[in-house]
Structure 1
Amino acid sequence: MISSRTSEEDQALRAQTVGELWRRTRRRTVDLVTGLPPEDLVVQSMEDASPAKWHLAHTTWFFETFVLTPFFTRYESPDPRFAFLFNSYYVQAGPRFERAQRGLISRPTVAEVMAYREAVDEAIRTRLDYGGLSPEAIDQLELGCHHEMQHQELLLTDLLHAFSFNPLRPAYRAHESLPVLPFYDTNGWLHFEGGIVEIGHPKNGGFAFDNEGPRHEVLLQPYRLAGRPVTAREWLAFIEDGGYRTPTLWLSDGWATAKRLGWTAPGYWWKEDTRWWSMTLRGPQPVELDAPVTHVSFYEADAFARYAGKRLPTEAEWEVASARCPPKGANFLESGLLRPRSTHPDGPRLAQMWGDVWEWTASPYMAYPGFKPAKGAVGEYNGKFMCNQFVLKGGSCVTPEAQIRPTYRTFFYPHQRWQFMGLRLAEDDL
């Protein structure tokens, strides 16, 4: 049967769908900081992190710069100076304030940033309500939603990093103990045949960032993938067995970095008497031994894999395997747990591929064959970072569920570990 729906009706439906996503996304960002004092929102604990206030303003600047300004000639910014303060790295969008000094932006105040958000939101709401957004503007609005989801995750991980330096060790949310599941010592392995497979986001497959495509063929050799991520219990054995003191397990740059930064355990771990603790978004907690280890760098993940006699999976291996287990119901931001949970797999299956912790792959972050960045300033979003970083897959306990799909590629430098980063082991099966 041929549909009678007109292109105008399709556009109206798409505008409604994206508009609802935009409203949910903007509301959740505000929910994430509700109840926090202004003092928490202005701290910048390192160059890689940003104050929560900056995230609130930058995501607003994104909608103003890429939705309102280019498509509506009569739009006027509440404060044109914000374009300099809250641009991140978009060179084509104009000059920017120094990233490492974002914590010095005491003005505008948090209240003024929230008023800025509301002014921009009202301008977009008005145009949504009266059908004033073109298909191109709707595309940019959808991009802005997924951009803001990324910053929701960054907002939380940056707050955790800041709180970890506070001697009072404050909690972002009230302390809550997770249920302790029976110890599960087995790590089943699943076999994959390999062969010529397709990875990457297909055309007309819904929203994706430009770096997720084009879809293309790769050749995989037969391999096996661990049924679950590496746990804190296994990592503790690595520590006790001298993993941080054995240079032959480490890449040269990794060993130099570990020595220079004094790494002896994952990020946010410390030992009191005989017990290991970790700093979490729910404050100090005993290390949950059967939960996935988190806050480990690529260097550490690679060293552990060598210690275990295994390796890290490639990006393509991970993506192909993920087709066996949809992400529905995983431990994402929506669960409210805010930290990885333990699991008790029932039989040989892939557990916790989604949520809990981002999983390092052995694949450098590079362009797929035929990749072309988007035109204009938004083309700077991904392409110019394709150097010296590694791909992670699957999302974490603070990743919004709508942000994740099998082709999603996040990327970090090999020394970074303030995000919820973990690993899953792989091995050849020839």
Structure 2
Amino acid sequence: MNRNFEYSQSIIKYHMLKKQFIETRARFLKICEDLKIEDYSVQPAIFVSPPKWHLAHSTWFFEQFVLSEFSEGYKIYDEDFAYLFNSYYNNAGKRVLRPNRGLMTRPPVEDVYAYRDYVDAAMISFLEGHPSEKAMTVVQLGIQHEQQHQELFCYDIKYILGNQPTFPLLKNDLTLAEISKPSTWLKVNKGLYDIGHTEETFCYDNELGHNKVFLNAYEISDQLVTNREYLEFMKAGGYQDFNLWHAEGWEFIQQNNIKAPEYWHEVEGEWHQYTLDGFMKVHPDQPVMHVSMYEAFAYAEWRNLRLPTEFEWEAASSLFEFGQLWEWTNSAYLPYPGFSKAPGALGEYNGKFMINQMVLRGASIATCPNHSRSTYRNFFHPNMRWQFSGIRLAK
């Protein structure tokens, strides 16, 4: 009886993983439905990847790390694709340099979609063969990896279209909800708090190394900073007062002539912003987005407040709702105690980026459903603004 139960549970696990794989892969096609063929290969900045590259790279991940490794007799779709669509996995071989991704007009988009179809069919057949636990772990990582790229795609296509003179529209579901009530301060007592992932569910290796941290008593806002509040900072000369900025942040905004969040434009004395729904006036009650860590820090300084640390954020996360925007913390991206990398290429997934980056917590309107959690550690360089990032304050 017990063996039958275990077999039934195993069958359910295979079925659920296959279902998640199919739904995740279909979601990427759905969010690309409104693209024009000319949109697929554009790379207006080094940190932006073309939509075609995202579609191919996430497919290559399954081919490279699942099918080639665990599926006996699998035939590689195209030997050149590993070189063209590897991202940063040195252990997986040579690759096209990141700044050159937009130079690739070949393979054409139709070949990339054919590649996806080929790999999807092989993956579904593979999953129906009841793969090993080790293989299933890598498949789950591949699914989560694809979900990350779907969010990155949203950042990138907004940057691609938002830097065109006509501000094109794109069908989307990325509208921010209004913040309709004043923010309040949530009190957190001093004490020891558990940090890190402990549940029997998926997490990235950078969430592991469960540890306790001591936190002094603090308060954290129950809401994000709004455009209305951020406009007050701008009108008060926040971008002109070097006293509010890190030296590096001040140099960054001076060199790049930054006077407002990304995608904001002043037209006849009024601030407008580009969204995928079009060019429109800044909505005062939506949370401010597309700000760098430098800007978030300067705003907090202006308010005589501060950004929370990532541990403060995690300890308080059950007290407030999150999911509108990734939230900058005042914590450098570093390993937890006992952190260890996986061997080979998959060990490059997170560990080698643990320098010169800052942690963001939460999720955003572009995050795939059920992808984030309270222990999730996102990370970017402090000057980056194209991601969907906002500000939560602490004191």
Is the TM-score greater than 0.5? yes
Q: Contact 1:175/1:283 (CA < 8 Å) preserved in 2? A: no
Return the alpha-carbon distance in structure 2 between the equivalents of residues 174 and 207 of structure 1: 28
Which residue of the partner structure matches residue 110 of structure 1? 109
1:284-323 aligned within 5 A: 284-323=279-318
Please state how far the C-alpha of 1:283 moved relative to its aligned partner.
1.8
Offset from partner CA, 1:211-246 (integer Å, 9 cap, x none):
011111001000000121111101100000000000
1:329-344 aligned within 5 A: none
- Structure 1 unaligned residues grouped into runs of 5+: 325-349
- SS state of the match for residue 96, structure 1? coil
Query: Which amino acid counterpart does residue 44 of structure 1 have in structure 2?
Result: Q
Which residue of the partner structure matches residue 327 of structure 1? none
Q: Does 1:134 align with 2:129?
A: no
Please state how far the C-alpha of 1:35 moved relative to its aligned partner.
2.8
TM-score (norm: length of structure 2): 0.96
- SS state of the match for residue 213, structure 2? strand
Please state how far the C-alpha of 1:172 moved relative to its aligned partner.
1.5
Return the alpha-carbon distance in structure 2 between the equivalents of residues 159 and 218 of structure 1: 39
Please state how far the C-alpha of 1:5 moved relative to its aligned partner.
4.6
Return the alpha-carbon distance in structure 2 between the equivalents of residues 370 and 179 of structure 1: 39
1:32-47 aligned within 5 A: 32-47=31-46
Q: Does 11-20 or 192-201 show the bigger shift?
A: 11-20
CA separation of 1:128/1:112 partners in 2, compared to 1, >3 Å: closer, same or farther? same
Q: Contact 1:11/1:135 (CA < 8 Å) preserved in 2? A: no
Q: Does 1:92 align with 2:87?
A: no
Offset from partner CA, 1:335-379 (integer Å, 9 cap, x none):
xxxxxxxxxxxxxxx3xx422111000010000000011222111
- SS state of the match for residue 244, structure 1? coil
TM-score (norm: length of structure 1): 0.89
Q: Contact 2:176/2:287 (CA < 8 Å) preserved in 1? A: no
Offset from partner CA, 1:280-324 (integer Å, 9 cap, x none):
121212111111100000000001000000000010111111123
1:16-415 aligned within 5 A: 16-131=15-130, 133-173=131-171, 184=181, 186-202=182-198, 204-324=199-319, 350=320, 353-415=321-383
Query: Which amino acid counterpart does residue 11 of structure 2 have in structure 1?
Result: A
Query: Which amino acid counterpart does residue 272 of structure 2 have in structure 1?
Result: W
Q: How many residues align?
A: 395
Please state how far the C-alpha of 1:6 moved relative to its aligned partner.
4.8
Offset from partner CA, 1:138-161 (integer Å, 9 cap, x none):
111110000000000001110000
Please state how far the C-alpha of 1:191 moved relative to its aligned partner.
0.3
Return the alpha-carbon distance in structure 2 between the equivalents of residues 4 and 62 of structure 1: 34
Query: Which amino acid counterpart does residue 296 of structure 1 have in structure 2?
Result: V
Return the alpha-carbon distance in structure 1 between the equivalents of residues 176 and 189 of structure 2: 37
Query: Which amino acid counterpart does residue 359 of structure 1 have in structure 2?
Result: E
Return the alpha-carbon distance in structure 1 between the equivalents of residues 34 and 325 of structure 2: 26
Return the alpha-carbon distance in structure 2 between the equivalents of residues 389 and 245 of structure 1: 25
- SS state of the match for residue 223, structure 2? coil
CA separation of 1:415/1:95 partners in 2, compared to 1, >3 Å: closer, same or farther? same
Give the root-mean-square deviation of aligned CA atoms.
1.7
Please state how far the C-alpha of 1:407 moved relative to its aligned partner.
0.5
CA separation of 1:126/1:178 partners in 2, compared to 1, >3 Å: closer, same or farther? closer
Please state how far the C-alpha of 1:124 moved relative to its aligned partner.
0.8
Please state how far the C-alpha of 1:179 moved relative to its aligned partner.
8.0
Offset from partner CA, 1:246-266 (integer Å, 9 cap, x none):
000000000000101111000
Query: Which amino acid counterpart does residue 46 of structure 2 have in structure 1?
Result: E
Return the alpha-carbon distance in structure 1 between the equivalents of residues 200 and 313 of structure 2: 19
Q: Does 28-37 or 2-11 show the bigger shift?
A: 2-11
Please state how far the C-alpha of 1:79 moved relative to its aligned partner.
0.5
- SS state of the match for residue 190, structure 1? strand
Return the alpha-carbon distance in structure 2 between the equivalents of residues 201 and 55 of structure 1: 28
Return the alpha-carbon distance in structure 1 between the equivalents of residues 213 and 364 of structure 2: 27
Runs of 4+ in structure 1 off by over 4 angstroms are: 2-7, 174-182
Q: Contact 2:50/2:101 (CA < 8 Å) preserved in 1? A: yes
Please state how far the C-alpha of 1:16 moved relative to its aligned partner.
1.3
Return the alpha-carbon distance in structure 1 between the equivalents of residues 216 and 175 of structure 2: 42
Q: Contact 2:176/2:286 (CA < 8 Å) preserved in 1? A: no
Which residue of the partner structure matches residue 425 of structure 1? 393
- Structure 2 unaligned residues grouped into runs of 5+: none
Please state how far the C-alpha of 1:19 moved relative to its aligned partner.
1.1
- SS state of the match for residue 40, structure 2? helix
